[in-house]
Structures are given as structure tokens and as C-alpha cells.
Amino acid sequence: MDEEKDQSKVSRRRFLEASTAMLVAAAGMQVAQGQEKSGATPNHPGVNESQPLPINRALDDQNPSSVWAPETDSGGQPPFKYPFSFAHKRIEEGGWTRQVTVRDLPISKKMAGVQMRLIRGGIRELHWHVGSEWAFMISGTARITAVDQQGRAFVEDVSAGDLWLFPGGIPHSIQGVGEDGATFLLVFDDGNFNEFQTFLLTDWLTHTPKEVLAKNFDVPASTFDKVPKKELFIFERPLPRPLEEEKRDASAGTGMVPNTFAFFTGKMQPTKVSKGGEVKIVDRKNFPATNIAAAIVTLKPGGLRELHWHPNEDEWQYYVNGKGRMTVFTAGGHARTMDFEEGDVGYIDRSAPHYIENTGDSDLVFLEVFPTAHYEDISLAEWLAHTPSRLVDQHIATGEDFLRQIAKKETVITPE
């Protein structure tokens, strides 16, 4: 009898424990549902923080620094981010392209960017433009060609991670030759650039009288009967001949350009390596043909591209892999933090201080591109390290011991 009573007590206790757990879970669900409806989160439960209206949860999750800005943000700093995903994609038989210009991102006054995908055999037709074209290969392999002002030829194959630079006015072409074609980024030193309004070979010839073409080349006018009536732009054709054969053919009589328009970053040692990541700087010092400087930055999880600014030019960014956040400070006490991930474009005005932090669990890879031949930056740490410590301490009250311990050479990426 006593044993039955004990078992009854145990069963009743377990029932009460289970009921309590169910009530707690239900209450938690109600809280969560209430937060979901109001837009509140566990970290921001205040009534003054609630959002009692429908919200775009996907965009909010991608942009936490805009939804819940750090307390250090201040003022009306305009957006300095634009995702390529928002850009109109023009699809042709040989691939597709889309662009981000000053018309999309008003702060991007001096530079514009284009994403392009060419299928195997896809050709971006022979063309040129006023501004210089700097390019970064994202994936695959491309055959690129150009001819300079003295008729000297350039033909090369570039693959993932490689760069090229075509100065303004230099005619060129791009063709996907990898097994999966080629995907790449183009950056132009003109914020108002328009990829859909370039000087195209077919467009030019079809708008020139055939008798003029015949006189120009001393051939019958019928030679040009099959010139396309509209631009080809991006189209598909058979693969090119072997690289060395095309180099010999193109360079006959004039030779190759003295300074190659391609740069193979895989053959380059990093400019700076630390526990937090690495950076490769490519400018006229190691790429003589370029008039656009760049840095390829890799930040490990938790790594920081240290507080710094660029005194000589604006900075255009492209995020290749990973997730991060950046705060930009501007004169007048304005500061704003925004979040970035693959395919996003960022832009910082000349001399505006900023940092980039890896907030993800994988490497963050991004490009810094500048409309100038020479890369320059100044770090906060380097500035403070080479200013008299008493003077600095009188400003920020950190103590001179801290200031004397700052590295005398620029760290670039932390941790060191």
C-alpha cells in the first residue's frame, strides 16, 4: 500500500513537472510571437524599439546595423552600399551583365562597377570606352585582347583572382574560355559610366556608309554586306585558337604591348600578413600599365581592417566572399554603420575614416579600388604612434603608457 502511494506521488510530481515545462514553453512561444508581431527581439525588447507593422524580415536580417544601429552612429550619413542583386540584369545569348553606377548609388561619383558572366565561347564584343577599365576575375577563365595607340597587340588568358587594366580609349574584347566560361567584375574611373553605351565595332560599322568602308579598306562594298544591323554586345561563337598562335597572329608587324595589361595575383606575395588576414596591394609600383590602384583584402573571422583613411582618392569596394560591417565617419560628427556580404558594393569619400570588420564565420574577401595609379592610406594607430604622446594623451586621456605601446608601423589588419 505504501509502495502504491509512493508511485502515485512520483507520477503526480512528474505530471506537474511536465505541465510546468509545457506552460513555460507556451509562454515562451507567446513572447516570441509577440516580439515577431511587434518587430522586437530579445536584445531589443523595449516598447520604444518595437516595430508594430509588417517588416521585410529577410532584409532586416541582412542589415542588423541599420535596423539596430550602434550607439556610436550619429547624424544623417547617406547610404554607402548598393547590392548588385538590386541591379537590372541584361541577358544575351552569350551571357549577362549588370551595373552599379552613380545613378544607383549617388555617393559613387567617381567610380562605377559592372558584373559580367560569359558562357564558354561567349564574347563581349570588340569595343572601347572613355574611362579606364580595371577588372577582377571572380571565376573561370577568359581570353582578353587589346591593341594600343601604336598598333601593338595584347592577347592573354586570365583566371580566378587575376586582374587586368585597359586604359581609356584602348579597344579590347573578352571571351569566356573556361569549362564554365568566365565571371568577372569591371570597375571604371567614372561614376556616370554606362555599360550599355560603349563604342562597339558592329555598331560603328553599321552606321558608316558601305562605300566609305570600301574606300577605307580598298575593297568592294559587298565585303560588308553581312555586317550586323545592330550591336552584338554579348554573343556566342566557337572558342579561339590556341593562345600562343593568337599572340603570334595579333602581334605580326608591330609586336606586343611593352607593359602587359594583365596582372596575375596568384604569383604575388601578400603585401602584409597577420593573424587577422592578409592584403595584396596592386598599383603602378608592381603593375606599370595601371592607372587604377587596388587592394585585395582577406580578413579571417573576427579580423579587422584597422581604422584608417585614404588621403588621395575615393574608395570603391566590392565584397567577394563572407560577411562584414563597416562604419564610415564624416566631418561634423556624422557616422553610420552598414553590413556587407557577397555581391555588395561599398563607397567611401576621400579622407573619410572607416574600418571593415569580419562578422561572419568564414573569411571575408573584399576589394578596395581607387581612381588613381598610387595606393595611399593613413592609419589611426600610425598617426597616434608618431605624434608626441603627451599631446595625444591631452586629447583622449588614455595614458601615455598605452600610446607608447602602439606599433610604430602600420598594422593594416588586426590582430597582428
* Tens-level pLDDT at each residue, the chain (416 residues): 444 444 554 455 454 444 444 443 444 444 344 444 444 466 777 888 888 888 899 999 999 999 999 999 999 889 999 999 999 999 999 999 999 999 999 999 999 999 999 999 999 999 999 999 999 999 999 999 999 999 999 999 999 999 999 999 999 999 999 999 999 999 999 999 999 999 999 999 999 999 999 999 999 999 999 999 999 999 999 999 999 999 999 999 999 999 999 999 999 999 999 999 999 999 999 999 999 999 999 999 999 999 999 999 999 999 999 999 999 999 999 999 999 999 999 999 999 999 999 999 999 999 999 999 999 999 999 999 999 999 999 999 999 999 999 999 999 999 98
Going by their DSSP bridges, the two strands 315-321 and 364-370 should be labelled as antiparallel
Same domain, 101 and 239: yes
Same domain, 240 and 326: no
Whole-number pLDDT of residue 53 = 85
Domain extent at residue 112: 87-263
Pick the last residue of a domain from 248, 263, 278.
263
Same domain, 173 and 237: yes
Question: Which residue in this structure is represented by grid cell 573571422?
Answer: 301
User: 195, 368, 382, 410: which is the annotated catalytic residue?
Assistant: 368
Let me know if residue 65 belongs to a domain.
Answer: no
CATH code of the domain covering residue 103: 2.60.120.10
Same domain, 394 and 284: yes
Let me know if residue 291 belongs to a domain.
Answer: yes
Same domain, 200 and 349: no
Query: What total of structural domains would you count in the chain?
Result: 3
Same domain, 133 and 242: yes
Whole-number pLDDT of residue 42 = 64
Pick the last residue of a domain from 263, 292, 319.
263
Same domain, 250 and 273: no
Which 3 state secondary structure label does DSSP give 348?
A: strand
Same domain, 273 and 403: yes
DSSP 8-class letter at 116 = E
Let me know if residue 74 belongs to a domain.
Answer: no
On whether the CB atoms of residues 297 and 305 are closer than 8 A, the answer is: yes
Same domain, 136 and 9: no
Let me know if residue 46 belongs to a domain.
Answer: yes
Let me know if residue 63 belongs to a domain.
Answer: no
Pick the last residue of a domain from 263, 279, 313.
263
Same domain, 294 and 404: yes
Whole-number pLDDT of residue 335 = 97
Say whether 368 is catalytic.
yes
Neighbours of 209 (CB within 10 A): 10
Let me know if residue 62 belongs to a domain.
Answer: no
Whole-number pLDDT of residue 249 = 98
Strands of 209-276, DSSP E: 234-236, 262-263, 272-274
Same domain, 128 and 11: no
Direct distance between the N- and C-terminal alpha carbons of the chain, in angstroms, rounded to an integer? 73
Strands of 149-287, DSSP E: 153-159, 163-166, 172-176, 182-188, 199-200, 234-236, 262-263, 272-274, 277-282
Same domain, 163 and 112: yes
Let me know if residue 78 belongs to a domain.
Answer: no
Whole-number pLDDT of residue 41 = 63
Let me know if residue 81 belongs to a domain.
Answer: no
Residues 6+ positions from 368 with CB-CB distance below 8 Å:
294, 295, 297, 315, 316, 317
